[in-house]
Each structure stands twice: as C-alpha cells, then as structure tokens.
C-alpha cells in the first residue's frame, strides 16, 4: 500500500471512531435521560455497538457520564446565548432564569446520573461556560445598581446555581410541584439579588415561565 493509501485508511479509521463516539454519547444522553442508573451494557445496546467498542472510547461509566454531561453543558451554553440579556438587568435576569430552568428541568435525570458518578466540584466545573453569562449579567446589574453590590458577584452566581439545582432536587423528592418551580425560583432569586432596602420586584407569570 502506498503512503497516501495508508494515510487515507488511517483517516477513515479515525472518522469511524469519531462517529462511534458520537453515537455512544447520543445514545447515553437519551438512555440516561430516561434512566440515570442505566448500565454500560444498556448504553452499548442503545448505541448499536459492542461493549468492546464502547469501552475503547470510554473506559468507565464515570468517563462516559462526564462526556455526556459536558456535551449537555455546551448545548446549554448555546441555548442561553440566544437569550436577550440587554435592557433592565432585572428583566434580563427573569428571562435568563426562565431559559436556565427549562434546561435544568429537561436534564434533571442526566444531572442525577452525573451526581452519582462525578464530584460536586467537577459538576460545578462543567457548568463554568454557561455560568459565565450569568456572571456577566450580575456584574452589570451591580454596576447599574439593580442588584446588590454588598456581596461578591461570585456569591450571587453561586446562589443562582444553587437555587436552580435545589429546585430540581426538590421536584425529584416530590417536595415541589414541577409547575410551581419557575415562580419559586424567580421569586427567590429576585429577592436575593435586590439591594438591601429596595422593594423586591413582583414576579409576573410571564417572568416565571
């Protein structure tokens, strides 16, 4: 075989490997989204590949779950990128809460899978890219006097993150109704972000999903 032919064969193998990896991630996302405890065998079957192929790409379940969750966070960032964060920071916050909650709500089962395999620190790290948008909005709101500036922006970002994920946990534990979550989240965060001594904006139905 010529050198050019060998290079083409190697490129073909690499393309096949990438396709297989993408098929596995797609299948894992779907399967873990329905059953956070699904096994590697379940995922291999759903992807239409053998266990040997699965493990050649992802050496362990935590490695696969991390790859799927990382993809989910990239998609979440792209979705949040379509949200209008201009104008009144409080109105922008309400729009961001609505979009962020929809993302968290859709991926609650996937989050449970991640919580079973990854450390809280790693899960938070994987949220870093989409959370940058929230951080930028909070800093703008603080600069304009719409959000409290007596605590660091990073603390308000952590509060945003914590409230959304606590809502997901409360729904899973049947302590919060799914249709009540958007109003609870928006009301809690607007109250937490309002400067001391200022009236807390009311949460309109349109602001609460």
Q: What is the pLDDT along the chain (209 residues), one digit of tens a residue?
A: 565 554 555 455 566 668 889 999 999 999 999 999 999 999 999 999 899 999 999 999 999 999 999 999 999 889 989 999 999 999 999 999 989 888 888 888 898 999 999 999 999 899 888 889 999 999 999 999 999 999 999 999 999 999 998 998 899 899 999 889 989 999 999 999 999 999 888 776 545 45
pLDDT for the residue numbered 209 = 52
Entry pTM: 0.76
pLDDT for the residue numbered 8 = 55
**Secondary structure of 60-100 in HEC code, one letter for each residue:** CHHHHHHHHHHHHHHHHHHHHCCCCCCCCHHHHHHHHHHHH
Q: Which helix (H) or strand (E) holds 193?
A: helix 181-193
Which two tokens mark 73? 């966070």
Cβ count within 10 A of residue 197:
6
Alpha-carbon distance 193 to 15, whole Å? 48
- List the one residue out of 40, 61, 44, 58 whose CA is nearest residue 118: 61
Which two tokens mark 181? 């979550």
pLDDT for the residue numbered 159 = 96
| Angle in degrees, CA 68, 159, 127, rounded to 5 | 20
pLDDT for the residue numbered 55 = 94
pLDDT for the residue numbered 10 = 43
Which two tokens mark 194? 């309002």
> Cα Rg for the chain, rounded, in angstroms?
21
What backbone phi and psi angles, to 5 degrees, belong to 54?
Answer: -60, -50
- List the one residue out of 124, 38, 24 whose CA is nearest residue 73: 124
Alpha-carbon distance 34 to 66, whole Å? 17
Alpha-carbon distance 58 to 54, whole Å? 6
């Amino acid at each position: 075989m010529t050198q050019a032919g060998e290079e083409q064969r190697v490129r073909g193998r690499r393309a096949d490997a990438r396709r297989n990896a993408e098929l596995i991630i797609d299948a894992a996302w779907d399967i873990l989204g329905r059953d956070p405890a699904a096994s590697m065998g379940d995922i291999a079957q759903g992807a239409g590949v053998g266990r040997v192929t699965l493990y050649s790409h992802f050496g362990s379940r935590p490695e696969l779950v991390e790859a799927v969750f990382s993809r989910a966070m990239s998609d979440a960032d792209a979705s949040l990128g379509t949200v209008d964060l201009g104008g009144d920071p409080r109105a922008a916050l309400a729009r961001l809460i609505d979009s962020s909650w929809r993302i968290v709500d859709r991926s609650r089962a996937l989050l449970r899978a991640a919580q079973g395999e990854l450390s809280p620190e790693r899960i938070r790290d994987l949220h870093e890219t989409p959370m940058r948008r929230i951080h930028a909005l909070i800093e703008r709101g603080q600069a304009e006097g719409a959000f409290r500036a007596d605590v660091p922006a990073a603390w308000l970002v952590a509060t945003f993150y914590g409230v959304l994920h606590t809502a997901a946990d409360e729904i899973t534990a049947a302590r919060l109704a799914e249709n009540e979550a958007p109003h609870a989240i928006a009301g809690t965060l607007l109250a937490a972000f309002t400067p001391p001594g200022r009236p807390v904006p009311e949460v309109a139905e349109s602001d609460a999903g």
